[in-house]
């Protein structure tokens, strides 16, 4: 039976939804799971794991882990995997994990598969991931004798109910040392947004060139505020300098899979679809009935966004 190690990301003392998805997957497969938590608050956050069937966690409760440093994290996580004896390692396919785990895999001389949308932990461990901007998917199995590292896209696996809280034994990881590092993060300037990051958001309202100019993103911000959404964008408007690249969705932006994706004035180019076609429900608002986005949309509204979006905002205000 596989022994699973889960790289559990957390924020403000709460396990992230992606971590809960992985914990639920291991629990429902009846596997013994251990978790790794890095950063200030790791010890107290780790106690939440008991309700998800985890009885032991490896924690680096140290401010030296608060900023991601590839060298420090790769050394620490590779050692934690070795110490745990895990043969399967699960992490959310976040920007950080996609940078970190290939380094970890190289240190352990093993294999990593990222951006997966399906996972099977029963019997042989297998995963499935999109290829060629989502035009097809590939089933992946492992031939490595080392730990199998799988990075799952967020919002792909169901989160079960938390069970009864129980104690979690903590094993402390060595504090990070900065001596001999090639790079050192001096400061991180956080964005001002209070909203969830796109990759974690349950609802996304994304805008494209149909908005005509940067100021019109206010329409999307108003809609997003009412329904608790995060605002995203197509590359066309990022390239135009209307919005920052941090909110770009697509092949060269972020990959998202929210419960609801509202595409406003976005044509639906293949490179955009590559980043959002895993969304559960897609609503497209476009004045061109032949726009490719409608082929992916669950619901399509053919109309002028300058009329449709304010009307939607008013309706949401009335019912929420």
Ligand X SMILES: Cc1cc2nc3c(=O)[nH]c(=O)nc-3n(C[C@H](O)[C@H](O)[C@H](O)COP(=O)(O)OP(=O)(O)OC[C@H]3O[C@@H](n4cnc5c(N)ncnc54)[C@H](O)[C@@H]3O)c2cc1C
Residues in contact with ligand X by the rule CB under 6 A:
208-210, 234-237, 248-253, 265-267, 269, 271-272, 275, 285-288, 291, 304-306
- Residue 80 or 249: the one with the smaller Cβ distance to ligand X is 249
Q: How far is the CB of 295 from ligand X (least distance, A)?
A: 12
Least distance between ligand X and beta carbon 270 (Å): 7
Nearer to ligand X, 69 or 234 (CB): 234
Q: Which is nearer to ligand X, 29 or 305 (CB)?
A: 305
Q: 101 or 242, CB closer to ligand X? A: 242
CB 147 within 8 A of CB 110: yes
State the nearest-atom distance from the C-beta of 256 to ligand X, in Å. Answer: 11
Task: For ligand X, give the closer residue by CB, 173 or 264.
Answer: 264
Name the minimum Å distance from CB 305 to ligand X: 4
What is the smallest separation between the CB atom of 21 and ligand X, expressed in angstroms?
24
In whole angstroms, the minimum distance from the beta carbon of 221 to ligand X comes to: 17
- Joined together, the tokens standing for residue 155 give 């919002």
- Which CB sits closer to ligand X, 289 or 318? 289
Give the CA count within 13 Å in the CB-facing half-sphere of 235.
Answer: 15
């Amino acid at each position: 039976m596989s022994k699973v190690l889960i790289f559990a990301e957390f924020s403000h003392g709460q396990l992230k939804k992606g971590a809960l998805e992985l914990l639920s997957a291991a629990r429902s497969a009846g596997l013994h799971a251990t978790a790794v938590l890095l950063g200030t608050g790791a010890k107290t956050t780790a106690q939440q794991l008991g309700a998800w069937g985890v009885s032991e966690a490896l924690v680096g409760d140290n401010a030296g882990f608060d900023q991601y440093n590839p060298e420090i994290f790769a050394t620490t996580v590779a050692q934690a995997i070795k110490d745990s004896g895990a043969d399967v390692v699960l992490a959310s396919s976040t920007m950080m994990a996609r940078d970190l785990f290939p380094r970890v895999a190289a240190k352990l001389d093993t294999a990593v598969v990222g951006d997966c949308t399906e996972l099977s932990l029963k019997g042989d461990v297998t995963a499935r991931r999109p290829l060629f901007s989502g035009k097809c998917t590939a089933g992946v199995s492992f031939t490595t004798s080392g730990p199998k590292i799988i990075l799952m896209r967020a919002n792909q696996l169901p989160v079960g109910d938390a069970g009864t809280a129980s104690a979690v034994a903590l094993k402390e990881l060595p504090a990070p040392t900065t001596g001999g590092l090639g790079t050192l993060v001096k400061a991180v300037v956080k964005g001002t947004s209070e909203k969830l990051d796109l990759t974690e958001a349950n609802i996304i309202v994304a805008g494209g060139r149909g908005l005509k100019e940067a100021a019109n993103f206010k329409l999307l911000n108003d809609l997003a505020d009412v329904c608790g959404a995060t605002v995203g964008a197509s590359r066309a408007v990022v390239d135009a300098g209307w919005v920052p690249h941090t909110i770009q969705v697509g092949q060269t932006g972020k990959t998202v899979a929210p419960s609801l994706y509202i595409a406003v004035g976005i044509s639906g180019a293949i490179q955009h679809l590559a980043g959002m076609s895993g969304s559960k429900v897609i609503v497209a608002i476009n004045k061109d009935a032949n726009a490719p986005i409608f082929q992916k949309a669950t619901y399509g509204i053919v109309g002028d966004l300058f009329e449709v979006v304010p009307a939607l905002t008013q309706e949401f205000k009335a019912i929420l």
